[in-house]
Amino acid sequence: MLLWVDVRVYTLVYPQSATLMDNALSLLLELASTNSQSVDSVARLLSAAKVRTVKSGAKPIKLADGGGLVLYVTPSGTKSWRYRFRLGGKEQTLTIGSYPEVSLEEARQAHRAARWLVERGHAPLVYLETQLQSRSDAKALAERHSFDAVCRDWLAATKGNLSSTTVRHRQQMLDKHVLPILGKRPIAAITRKELRDLLLGIDKDAPVTARHCRIYIKQVFDWALDAELVQGSPVPKATSLPNQASRRSVPRKALPVSALGSFLRTIEDAKTSDVLTRTALWLLVLTWSRTAEVIGAKWNEFDLVKGVWTIPAERMKAREAHVVYLSAQAMTRVKALKKLECSDYLFPNRRDPKRAMGRMTLSAWRERWGFAETMEIHGLRAVASTWANETGRYRPDVIEAALAHKEGDRVRAAYNRAAFANERRAMLQAWADECDRLLELAC
């Protein structure tokens, strides 16, 4: 314990905690080292053996070591190191620490540092408390501006515009690959080389993960730049990573329209497949929706009287509510599911009906039934889009609206959603009829 004694008035000022005492001792030892006080200018009187073997008495015992440093032994046998000095005309005492926690050598080093302060007119305890507070403030500031802290702030500030899947993906990528390495580093101190080395390590075994991590790191630094926490972004270009430099944008594998009938026939004939899986695949085809939108569909999103499915903004990629005009064929399949309703979801998870069907269920079906090499589930949207464009009967804006592609002009987008309702409904019905035709041809 550190304490300050004014001998004339016997006033004691204690530190706030034992942690402060330990930190203050460390600071004294550091001060002794940095000020080249390794050579002792004081004639020392004690030895390690003497300190270890001295016995307590009826009254406190004070064994001088020189220069004001004494070993203070209480009648109960506890021993402590004290430094007695005069400052500002007052005799004062600084307790350096207890023995044997603080050895004779450590007590002498701390004593040399305290004497150095007194010689320069500094009260040791005041100096130590000031330094410790300054370091504590600097540490707190560094923690607030660490990559981890800035990353958490960025995640919280930007998640409102993203789907829950994207939010979860960002968190998982950063938690697993980035924060364990960079988390405690002050964001302003992170170098381009550090980031490049990190990303190179990921890119070697997992190029896709490296690409995602680089994007998220760049977004964190862009956010920090706007908050004036950094002077610039050190994130390396994607082309600096070997497996990214050679990447090319590869479109999703999609069936030609002429082959769709075979795919639909396989769904119909795959009676060993779960009815929920087969119906989800059909709705993907008939509604032009994304996988997450279909498997996450809830009954309260459907108006089976008007034949409308309204997907809420929080489940849409563009973060805007989207209306799907259900064809007669889509209505038939949804109503058939209604008879099996056992969850809020149209396609509940088999293990836990309170959750939606897993994202990989449909991809696994594709692989199991021999379509892995020729198509991707997401590519079904491309099949529908190709058909609509090749017929020449539908305006591009109508097709884009049906695919829920975000319109840059928000006023125009709002108008289009309303104006294209009849055209979209007619287009999706014509598409469903075409699917029936292709299915019959594949018999």
Active site residues: 290, 317, 378, 381, 405, 415
Residues with Cβ < 8 Å from 41, sequence gap 6 or more? none
Contacts of 117 (CB under 8 A, 6+ apart): 31, 123, 124, 127
Angstrom CA distances, 156 to 38, 160, 201, 222, 404, stand at 51, 8, 28, 15, 26
**Using CA atoms, how far apart are residues 265 and 246, in angstroms rounded to an integer?**
38
Cα 409 from Cα 403, distance rounded (Å): 17
Please state, in angstroms and as integers, the Cα–Cα distance from residue 266 to each residue in 110, 270, 352, following that order: 83, 6, 28
Strand partners, 86: 91
DSSP 252: P
From the list 240, 233, 168, the residue with the least C-alpha distance to 198 is 240
Give the up-direction half-sphere exposure of residue 393: CA atoms within 13 A in the CB hemisphere: 10
The CA distance from 127 to 142, in Å, is 22
DSSP per position, 188-222: GG--HHHHHHHHHHHHHH-HHHHHHHHHHHHHHHH
Give the integer Cα–Cα distance in Å for 340 and 338.
5
Q: Give the C-alpha separation, 443 to 438, whole Å.
A: 9
- Contact of 105 with 33, CB cutoff 8 Å: no
Closest CA to 431 of 352, 325, 344, 359: 325
Question: What's the token pair of residue 40?
Answer: 């002792």
Task: Report the alpha-carbon distance of residue 381 to residue 258 in Å, rounded.
Answer: 15
- 424-439 per-residue burial string, b: 16 or more CB within 10 A, e: under 16: bbebbbbbbebbeebb
C-alpha–C-alpha distance, residues 97 and 336, integer Å:
80
